[in-house]
Amino acid sequence: MPEALFELASDAPAARRPQRLSSKGIAPGDVVEVDKKGRRFHALVKTIEQDAKGYYHLELNPFDRRVSYRQATVREVVTVWRRVKTGPAAAPAA
């Protein structure tokens, strides 16, 4: 049984925080609420890329299996929940 719900490929060392690129401060590993064509869903951000025109595109992993959208723009993001690393003091006691 995996410890995490989703596995993220890590290019940088684990101690380094992901760089927040977009105007909404979205980074890989964040959970976002997306509104695409009036349909709202929650998803995990896998990657974020900027095209030649300056628009940011997100590659998503939706939590709901019924959702087929795998990409979105930053403009379609409604809410962002940032991934926070907790230290040993925040861990529950065994």
Give the three-state DSSP class for 20.
coil
Domain-embedded: residue 26: no
Domain-embedded: residue 6: no
Q: How confident is the model at residue 84 (pLDDT cuts 50, 70, 90)?
A: confident
Tokens of 55: 């628009």
Domain-embedded: residue 4: no
Q: How confident is the model at residue 62 (pLDDT cuts 50, 70, 90)?
A: very high
Domain-embedded: residue 89: no
Distance of CA 34 to the CA centre of its chain: 11
Residue-averaged pLDDT of the chain? 82
Contact 18, 25 (CB under 8 A): no
Domain-embedded: residue 7: no
Domain-embedded: residue 14: no
Count of domains forming the chain: 1
Percentage of the chain exceeding pLDDT 90: 52
Q: Where are the beta strands (DSSP E) in the chain?
A: 31-36, 39-50, 56-62, 71-73, 77-81
Domain-embedded: residue 19: no
B/e letters for 49-65, b = 16+ CB within 10 Å, e = fewer, are eeeeeeebebebebeee
Domain-embedded: residue 74: yes
Domain coverage including residue 35: 31-83
81-86 mean pLDDT: 78
| pLDDT exceeds 60 at position 18 | no
